[in-house]
Chain A
Amino acid sequence: MFEILLDATVKAGTPILFATLGAIINERAGIINLGIEGLMLVGALAGFAGTYLSGSLLVGVVLAFCATFIAGSIHALITVQLRGNQIVSGLALTMFGVGITALFGKGMVGKTIVGFERVAIPGLSKIPIIGKAFFNQDLLVYFSFLLVFLIWFFFYRTRWGLAMRSVGQNPAAADTCGFSVSKYRFLAVTVGSGFVGIGGAYLSLASTPMWIENMTAGRGWIAVALVIFASWSSPRAMFGAYLFGGITAMQLRFQAMGTNVSAHVLQMLPYIFTIIVLVISTVRLQKGGNQQPEGLGLPYDREDRK
């Protein structure tokens, strides 16, 4: 019972983990991206269409990354180069993503593919209780583990990661040190968006191998909230995403068991839970030194330097 629940937790948490990681990369460089929900949809559709047309899951995932990379570059262009309002641009990206995927996804509704299948990692998957949940999953889940580590390594063990963090923290100082603020920010937004897209593709290639209009159902927004919960750190994002995945798994379990509680009320739980978590983590951040990148949300113009 507990094993099944834990397994469902990882499955439900993985798309949100990818999206949260992508959002963290954006925000670390100082750009708020509220387009996560729309980007996930773009990734879900691109991933599904790519796999459907080519027959290869890998092509689907790569296409999902590329499509959201391009969609993200609209946000990057507007917020970095044109110094536009990041909140409005992100909302526009979400609306655009919802609409464009509804339009182009029409032909994909009802089509079926063979989704990702479980690949047990020898040895590790035999660990009692957690082995099955974490090491008898599909390849994308393993990729998400790797990504958590790579992002942490990039930000805390490499020169470019340090530069990217400083671009988010104090763009004027980074500029003075000779780092191109716009280049780093542009890259952070586009690559981050690409990972968000893989999160979307997880939904249409692994969770339920099909395309459904608006299939993200608010997961992108939950990811935006989890960035704050994770205080912009990738290992904590993992914790947050699984915490959320656990709530979803329990909700589905309750529904399957056929409780008297209405399905609609159960479906509210993840959103209510996310708000509570957001409040707690915001209060905690204010008490224990704010981790938020100082330049977050502010456009940078060299001429404005003081």
Chain B
Amino acid sequence: MKLVLERREMLSPMLRFSAPVASIGVALFVAGFFLLASGVNPLLAYREIIVEALGSGYGLSETLVKATPLIFAGLGVSLAFRMQIWNIGAEGQIYMGAMGATWVALFSGIHNHWLMLLAMFVAAFLCGGLWAGVAGILRAYWQVNEVIVTLLMNYIAILGVDYLVYGPWKDPNGFNFPLTAQFSDAARLTEYFNTRMHSGFFLALFCALVLYVFMERTVWGYEIKVIGNNQNAAQYAGMNTRTAIFAVLFLSGAIAGIAGFSEVAGLQHRLQHGISPGYGYTAIIIAWLAKRSAIGVVIVAFLMGVILVGGDSLQIMWQLPVAFVYAFQGLILFFLLAADFFIIYRLKLIRGSSHV
């Protein structure tokens, strides 16, 4: 008897759908052992996550608060994925977006509410876009590896924001904490139901819808897919791949930048050290799990929101480090990659002697 791998003749849609769900399940199972090893009962911990994140109206609102930046950043990363471009720099683009929006909020002197929000939005969009656009130009003209450039620029962006909030932008009345002065009411998004939930969430949903239409119903969306699948074919068809690479990375970063706008205008009402606790990295998983679909991004971002809210409460209850959530996300990705393999291949038992 012999165990061999065989390609499946038909790809089962059922398997394709169940694979991501199964990988999250297995990741939960394995993460349970890590929790056990650090002295936490995993069943209690998982129950805590569900209850905290979904068990009450307030918990649900917190989950949506966390999901908001994740939707923006996830959409940005997944747009670049469509063209087989890796934007690993959403984290830095969020910081740059937050920085741009903050600059407008603190120093532009605009008093009109809508004009102010619009200007902040545009500033965040441009800052995030240009930040990713650097990697876009380097990639388009000199084939410089965009994974490394976008990633390294995260560190630069975070240090840049630190420079501002520890230095020139520090609130003189802030007891020396690394944060800027609070925004005026004109620079704040609407909040709902006495929770921290703000209109940024609806902006994120709207953004997902726009991106869906853009990708599925426009020529540009089609071109992005073609270039992603076969750059040579795209060039033969007369598409300008260089411009497209730059444009896609710009747009990808710009959308991630809006997350920065939404965080400072909707939630923090100021710029501060550590404005994003790794949303940009979680966004990569979201984009991969969502299989590049804009609607998928919204669903997965919500799931990740649950995990983040739950993770926060685990930190409070059992003093687990926040970064534990990363370990869990890494596990999900590992199992998802393994599951992808078994979508295409199957194990088959061959009886009798086999001839090679």
Contact = CB atoms under 8 A, between A and B. Distances in A.
A87 to B, nearest CB: 6
B28 interface: no
Contacts of B88: 91
B281 interface: yes
A88 B285 CA distance: 9
B103 interface: no
Given A91-B88, A106-B38, A82 B155 contact: no
Nearest to B168: A262
B338 A104 contact: no
A279 B37 contact: no
Contact of B142 (A103, A264, A282): A282
A96 B325 CA distance: 9
A265 interface: yes
A97 B331 CA distance: 10
A85 to B, nearest CB: 6
A52 B327 CA distance: 24
Contact of A264 (B86, B166, B324): B166
B38 A95 contact: no
A87 B149 CA distance: 14
A83 B327 contact: no
B148 A224 contact: yes
A271 B152 contact: yes
A265 B159 contact: yes
Contact of B145 (A78, A84, A278): A278
B34 A84 contact: no
A232 B308 CA distance: 39
A262 B149 contact: no
Given A84-B338, A99-B326, A268-B155, A106 B144 contact: no
Contact of B341 (A38, A83, A262, A279): A83
A275 B326 contact: no
Interface in B319-336: 319-331, 333-334
Contacts of B138: 279
B329 A95 contact: yes
A268 B159 contact: yes
Interface string A87-105: 1110111111111101110
Contact of A91 (B142, B284, B327): B284
B327 A282 contact: no
Contact of A271 (B143, B156, B329): B156
B237 to A, nearest CB: 25
Contacts of A274: 152
Contact of A268 (B151, B156, B326, B330): B156
B222 interface: no
Interface stretch (A2-10, A135-143, A213-221, A233-241): A213-221
Contact of A225 (B148, B156, B319): B148
Given A85-B337, A264-B159, A214 B152 contact: no
Given A95-B329, A95-B333, A265 B340 contact: no
Given A99-B326, A282-B144, A272 B331 contact: no
A34 interface: yes
Given A84-B340, A102-B321, A262-B167, A89 B334 contact: yes
B42 interface: no
Contacts of B285: 95
A217 B154 CA distance: 11
B228 interface: no
Interface string B152-167: 1101100110110011
B259 to A, nearest CB: 19
Interface string A195-224: 000000000000000000110011001101
Contacts of A262: 163, 166-167
B167 A88 contact: no
Contacts of B143: 282, 286
A268 B321 contact: no
A271 B344 CA distance: 40
B333 A91 contact: yes
A283 interface: yes
Contacts, number: 142
B147 interface: yes
Given A225-B152, A268-B155, A95 B281 contact: yes
Nearest to B38: A103
B152 A275 contact: yes
Contacts of A87: 86, 147
Contacts of B111: none
Contacts of A213: 321, 323
Contacts of A56: none
B246 interface: no
A34 B330 CA distance: 13
Contacts of B333: 88-89, 91-92, 95
A264 B326 contact: no
A45 B151 CA distance: 23
Nearest to B334: A92
A74 interface: yes
Which has the most chain B C-beta neighbours within 10 Å: A74, A85, A91?
Answer: A91
Contact of B324 (A91, A103, A214, A222): A103
Which has the most chain A C-beta neighbours within 10 Å: B159, B160, B281, B326?
Answer: B326
Contacts of B7: 303
A74 B324 CA distance: 18
Nearest to B338: A82
B288 interface: yes
Given A96-B327, A99-B324, 8 more contacts: A82-B338, A88-B333, A92-B337, A99-B328, A221-B152, A264-B159, A268-B155, A278-B149
Question: Which 3 pairs, one residue from A and one from B, show the smallest C-beta to C-beta distance?
Answer: A99-B327, A96-B330, A99-B326
5 contacts: A88-B337, A99-B326, A103-B323, A222-B152, A282-B144
